[in-house]
């Protein structure tokens, strides 16, 4: 009987002493642009853009509890937690949403222009009839050769593209060269 009690006590101590790898937390307010832009972290991806300064900076991390919708500028209150022992190549910070302070939708017809986008393996793809720009679905405007753009994918070339906001978080490719 005493052995069971000792084992139970040791197990309880181990469970209590386990750390969740989270350190201190703080709150911060950030404003994010209504569109994402190509960036390279571990691989080519679309990053949020922090608009809290004149230049704008890439935001590589995910935000727990937040789903970005294209065409919406967000001001968010975020809880930022230090991760004591992050995984290799992982952020040392964890972000979670506390509150959406504002959500302002772009006007239909707003254009998003990208210059010198590198055509890597997953830059422009088409799956089950849906076109994607680094994972972001988009429509193809009539007269625009979206299949030709997809065929250039993984060539290492550079392309300029223009998307237009069509409402409800959706964009359409209106030009590329």
> What is residue 45's predicted lDDT score, i.e. its pLDDT?
93
The total of other beta-carbon atoms located within 10 Å of residue 173's CB is 20
The dihedral sign for the CA sequence 66, 140, 163, 122: positive
Q: Collapse the DSSP code of 34 into the 3-class scheme (helix H, G, I; strand E, B; otherwise coil) and give the result.
A: coil
pLDDT digit string, tens, across residues 105-143: 999 999 999 999 999 999 999 999 999 999 999 999 999
- For the entire predicted model, the pTM comes to 0.81
pLDDT digit string, tens, across residues 36-89: 999 987 789 999 999 977 778 999 899 999 999 999 999 999 999 988 876 766
Domain boundaries, the chain: 22-105, 111-176
Strands 136-140 and 170-176: what pairing?
Answer: parallel
pLDDT digit string, tens, across residues 4-42: 554 544 544 444 444 444 568 899 999 999 999 999 877
CB 124 within 8 A of CB 150: yes
> What is residue 15's predicted lDDT score, i.e. its pLDDT?
44
pLDDT of 169 above 60? yes
d(CA 5, CA 1): 7
């Amino acid at each position: 009987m005493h052995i069971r009690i000792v084992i139970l006590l040791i197990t309880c101590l181990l469970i209590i002493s386990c750390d969740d790898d989270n350190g201190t937390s703080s709150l911060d307010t950030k404003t994010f642009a209504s569109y994402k832009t190509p960036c390279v972290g571990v691989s080519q991806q679309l990053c949020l853009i922090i608009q809290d300064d004149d230049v704008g900076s890439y935001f590589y991390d995910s935000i727990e509890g937040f789903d970005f919708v294209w065409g919406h500028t967000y001001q968010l209150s975020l809880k930022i937690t230090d991760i004591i022992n992050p995984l290799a190549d992982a952020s040392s910070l964890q972000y979670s949403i506390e509150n959406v302070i504002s959500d302002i939708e772009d006007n239909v017809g707003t254009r998003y222009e990208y210059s010198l986008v590198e055509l890597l393996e997953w830059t422009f793809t088409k799956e089950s009839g849906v076109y994607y720009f680094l994972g972001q679905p988009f429509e193809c405007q009539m007269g625009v050769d979206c299949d030709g753009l997809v065929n250039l994918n993984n060539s290492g070339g550079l392309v300029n593209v223009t998307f237009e906001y069509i409402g409800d978080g959706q964009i359409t490719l209106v030009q590329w060269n």
